[in-house]
Structure 1
Amino acid sequence: MLAFRSGLVRVLASRARAPQVCTSFATGPRQNDGTFYEFRTYYLKPSKTNEFLENFKKNVHLRTAHSELVGYWSVEFGGRMNKVFHIWKYDNFAHRTAVRKALAKDKEWQEQFLLPNLAHIDKQESEITYLVPWCKIEKPEKEGVYELATFQMKPGGPALWGDAFKRAINAHVDLGYAKLVGVFHTEYGLLNRVHVLWWNATADSRAAGRHQSHEDPRIVAAVRESVNYLASQQNMLLIPMSFSPLK
């Protein structure tokens, strides 16, 4: 019995000394800031895409009167065509609820945009994401093209793969291969998913930078560590609309 108690004491003591598992993905400013970003994707009918976008351009001010539009893009490569992707910013969930209620009562928005265009949308998707604490949205200084890289990580959450992922992203940023706009961690949608929004001057400059980075041993080492936790990845080339705040 004495030996058992002695062993138990040693086990409890070792647990007390063990470091707490934490990651900069899940701790820090995000815990004190309710701000989140809604990723919305509309799949449009091919014959109605231009009409839909022209209508939105004409009436975008009616929608942005209620909440902040971060960016609005058409998908050029990497997914179904005739698809638009947009990001909206909210202070918290109460803010979003209030905005949705206000829109439902906004006759001008309903009559001039929503009702005429509902028939032009085949499908829509929505995700709620948080900007990771070690990143803030950086607005490019000039117009260009955007790339949304979506990483589906293995189950386990940021405590498992967050730090390795951060090192892989920062390696690209620090070495100047692309401009980082923002890193977003999904809260509602597929879990263990991270979206990384990049900016490049042109699609060709993006391709050149990507080829160079693949030959850079510093990038290769950082990515190799993160890839151990990767389940799948999808990249989309995005073209900003003329009314998009991010261009």
Structure 2
Amino acid sequence: MLALGSCLRKALALRALAPQVCSPFATGPRQSDGTLYEFRTYFLKSSKTKEFLENLKKNVHLRTAHSELIGYWSVEFGGRTNKVFHIWKYDNFAHRTAVRKALANDKAWQEQFLIPNLTSIDKQEIEITYLVPWCKLGKPPKEGVYELATFQMKPGGPALWGDAFKRAVNAHVDLGYSTLVGVFHTEYGALNRVHVLWWNESADSRAAGRHRSHEDPRVVAAVRESVNYLESQQNMFLIPTSFSPLK
């Protein structure tokens, strides 16, 4: 027993001298506040799309009385047509829960819009996102068109790919090839997904800026670094509705 105790003490002493490896749980920088952005995509029946949007235009004030609408768009290119995409802002999850409860009890909203239009929607997708810590929500200088670029990154979080991704985005921004509205990191939905919302004056100005950026060695170098962590990408070209705060 004495020999065993002596061996145990020696082992503990050696362990104390060995370097300790600490692995943090955090996967990257975090937001400083709880503000979240809900991404909603509705897949509409083709015969109902026009009716759905006209009804919403008349009644959207009933919905925005409860929480802030950032933008509402119809999808022009990039995936299935007859699709609308909208972003809602909440202070935190408790705020969203309170808003959803209030909407369920709002007779005007239920009777004038929701119930009549439920049959217009084939399906819906919802994601909860945060702005990345290095980005603030921007406001374009005038009316235009939008592009939502969605990047599915490799597992590991911003600690793995965040810096390279930031450099790729900023290369486009700093050199004036497009106007950034926001960069959002998904919290609920497909993880390791980043959405970048861009504004351009028109579809043609967007195409011209993209062609110039692809010939700029500074942009090319930044993008090549970022794509090492990329699994897939999808782009949607968005047209703001007449009632969208972001035009």
CA RMSD of aligned residues (A): 2.0
Percent identity over the alignment?
Answer: 79
Query: CA shift at 1:7, angstroms?
Result: 8.6
CA distance in 1 between partners of 2:138 and 2:19 (Å) = 48
Give the equivalent residue in structure 2 for 1:26.
29
2:62 matches 1:62:
yes
User: For structure 2, which runs of at least 5 residues remain unmatched after alignment?
Assistant: 1-6
Q: 3-state SS of the aligned residue for 2:136? A: coil
Instruction: Provide TM-score, normalisation by structure 1.
Output: 0.92
Q: Is 1:235 the counterpart of 2:243 in the alignment?
A: no
| Corresponding residue for residue 41 of structure 1 | 41
Following superposition, the deviation at residue 6 of structure 1 comes to 6.3
- Report Cα offsets for 1:90-139 as digits up to 9, x if no partner: 00111000001100010000000000000000000100000111101111
Which position in structure 1 is the counterpart of 2:198? Answer: 198
TM-score in terms of structure 2 length: 0.92
Q: Deviations over 1:166-219 (max 9, x none)?
A: 111011111110000000000000000000000000001101111111111100
> How far, CA to CA, are the matches of 1:62 and 1:133 in structure 2?
32
- Evaluate the alpha carbon distance shift between residue 3 and residue 122 of structure 1 in structure 2; reply closer, same or farther with a 3 A threshold: closer
Aligned pairs for 1:163-242 within 5 A: 163-242=163-242
The structure having more radius of gyration, on CA atoms, is 2
Alpha-carbon distance in 2 for matches of 1:91, 1:61: 20
Query: Matches of residues 103-114 of structure 1 in structure 2 within 5 Å?
Result: 103-114=103-114
Tell me which residue corresponds to 1:115. 115
Change (3 A) 1:47 1:200: same
Amino acid at match of 2:29: A
Contact 1:21 1:159 in 2 (8 A): no
Structure 1 gap segments, 5+ residues each: none
Name the SS for the 1:46 alignment partner.
coil
CA distance change for structure 1 residues 10 and 242 in 2, over 3 Å: closer, same or farther? same
- After superposing on structure 2, the runs of 4+ consecutive aligned residues of structure 1 that deviate more than 4 Å are 1-8, 20-23
* 2:138 counterpart SS class: coil
